[in-house]
Structure 1
Amino acid sequence: MKIVIVLCLLPLLALSSCALSEDLSPPPDGKTVKIAVVKPADVDILPMDVIYRSEKCRDKIFTSTGAITSRAGYHLLTVPFNPEKGNNIVSNNIALDGGGKCGWTLSNIRFQFKFSDMTKFGADIKKNISNDIVFVFDKNAPPRGDGHYENILSDIVIKQDYYPLIRNDRMIDHAKILRLINKDMLTYKVSDSKSILFEPNVHSDKVVNVLGPEKFGEDSITTYPDGTQTTNAKGPDPLNFEKLKLIK
């Protein structure tokens, strides 16, 4: 059980209600949602960030004018995925009702995933950037996104294609950066789902290389796995994911 400790300081400095020290206490017979992932062999599935919110125990915040207002309080848990026996699925069950004196309810779940070994794509790669997926269960804003969700109204299997992109930044980072990419930013609004299975199809052999310019105004060059290239002086071209799918 996770305990969040909040210290009450001077009234004008305390932005969090002391009620937020209340524990989560999900009812033993409460509803849950199972989040499961078919784990690719060369990808790490990172723990879930699970946020519960409470209208009863609200956070005090400053507005841009310096006034004090409030918003639904939140309680963050980090929940690991557990491997299932006999398959390559990792999963965990998340309580919809967080319980406790604050009446916590599940707000959103976010987890990230990235390549296990970036050196597989080159010894000179310096960064390994993850991708992510977000599930929203209430009206509160999720950790990221533009407010546009795809609705999930029942149990579902989500299948998405992913590709490795290596960007050689020659102006700012002066480094090669590996990124796990797909076509869409995945944000889902969930209703009445007991089980969600995410199945990323990672095409590790279809590497896209982007050579950044050395000076402002020069072209970025994008090279696809089949050797074809595109150039753009304004930055990397948006990737042609339909083209990637057709490359053997």
Structure 2
Amino acid sequence: MKSVFPAVLIPLFVSVSVSGCGQDYSLSPPADSEQITVTVKVPKELQAETMQVMYRSTLCTFTDHDASGKPYSRDGYQRIDIQPVRQGLSDLYEARLAVQGGGSCEWRLSNVTFGVTYANPAQFGENVRFGTGGGVVVVFDNNNSPRGGTGIKIDGNLTIKKDYYPRVDEEFLGPYKKTVSLAGEGSIYLSYQALQAKQVHFEPVLHSDFVVYSAGPKVKKKGNYTVFTYPDGSVVADGRGGPDFQKLQSIRLAAESKK
């Protein structure tokens, strides 16, 4: 039987009080714990990010305060990092998450944050770093995720297949920086709530031949917007914070139809 945690685990934090359970707050998944398998199909040029897995406990609570300073009790929570494991020589990377976290706090799986990044951002130029995009948050209970909200509700297993485009961005206000991001549909993190899921599969489709370039203004002035240069050579500066995803899709589909 495979371990419920087949990869490297790094406990990052735990917020609990001593009331309601013993002093030992560690995770200890039972051998027969139900498991959720998270698989990422990683395109060439990208790499799987470390998964951030959140567990919660209704036994080991802690005291928080609302906006007016009034104290209230919250579930304890603990996050661990899991590095997904490559499956043979394939492009699939997998992690198995124990639903029951065990221990005296009776931890239970709450959510997981994962995704893909560029393995070598420097391919886009010296000192280029990865920016944003390519992330996913899946919630397995009725609590909000670390990114806020519970996301799109899904029945049963969850399969995500999304298109992404490289976005190379230069920023000039403040310290100069150049980044490459994964431009996709929607927010930086795709958010889902999958209460019955046993399998989560994420397949990002990278269209590396269709790069969109952006450059922020050099002078902070009304009407100075980020300039986007699309793969077809068109230039747009209409006040958008990010590239027009549907425009990128149209450019690619038009180019592919001519082949």
TM-score, L = length of structure 2: 0.83
Partner of 2:194: 190
Q: CA deviation at 1:158?
A: 1.3
Please state if 1:71 is matched with 2:78.
no
Partner of 2:4: none
Residue type matched to 1:149 in 2?
Answer: G
For 2:157 and 2:68, the matched residues in 1 are separated by: 44
Does the aligned pair in 1 maintain the 2:42–2:116 contact within 8 Å?
no
Q: CA deviation at 1:117?
A: 0.9
Partner of 1:24: 27
For 1:35 and 1:143, the matched residues in 2 are separated by: 18
Please state if 1:61 is matched with 2:68.
no
Residue type matched to 2:205 in 1?
Answer: N
Please identify, of 177-186 and 158-167, the stretch whose mean Cα deviation from structure 2 is larger.
177-186
Residue type matched to 1:102 in 2?
Answer: C
Q: 1:170 aligns with which of 172, 177, 181?
A: 172
Partner of 1:11: none
Does the aligned pair in 2 maintain the 1:46–1:111 contact within 8 Å?
yes
> Sequence identity of aligned pairs in percent?
30
Residue aligned with 1:227, SS: coil
- Aligned counterparts, 1:1-248, within 5 A: 16-18=16-18, 19=21, 21-125=24-128, 127-131=129-133, 132-145=135-148, 147=149, 149-185=151-187, 186-215=190-219, 216-217=221-222, 218-232=224-238, 234=239, 236=241, 238-241=243-246, 242-248=249-255
Residue type matched to 2:165 in 1?
Answer: Y
Give the CA RMSD over aligned residues: 2.3
For 1:184 and 1:192, the matched residues in 2 are separated by: 24
Q: CA deviation at 1:68?
A: 2.3
Residue type matched to 1:98 in 2?
Answer: G
Change (3 A) 1:88 1:175: same
Does the aligned pair in 2 maintain the 1:4–1:22 contact within 8 Å?
no
Cα deviation 1:123-182 (Å, max 9, x = unaligned): 252x3114210000111110114x362222222321001111112112233222211121
Q: CA deviation at 1:112?
A: 3.4
Q: CA deviation at 1:23?
A: 1.8
Change (3 A) 1:2 1:21: farther
The count of aligned residue pairs is 237
Residue type matched to 1:214 in 2?
Answer: K
Residue aligned with 2:112, SS: strand
Does the aligned pair in 1 maintain the 2:112–2:138 contact within 8 Å?
yes
Change (3 A) 1:195 1:68: same
Does the aligned pair in 2 maintain the 1:230–1:237 contact within 8 Å?
no
Partner of 1:12: none
Does the aligned pair in 1 maintain the 2:169–2:215 contact within 8 Å?
yes
Structure 2: tracts of 5 or more residues without a match:
1-8
For 2:64 and 2:251, the matched residues in 1 are separated by: 46
Please identify, of 92-101 and 173-182, the stretch whose mean Cα deviation from structure 2 is larger.
173-182
For 1:37 and 1:245, the matched residues in 2 are separated by: 24
Structure 1: tracts of 5 or more residues without a match:
7-14
TM-score, L = length of structure 1: 0.86
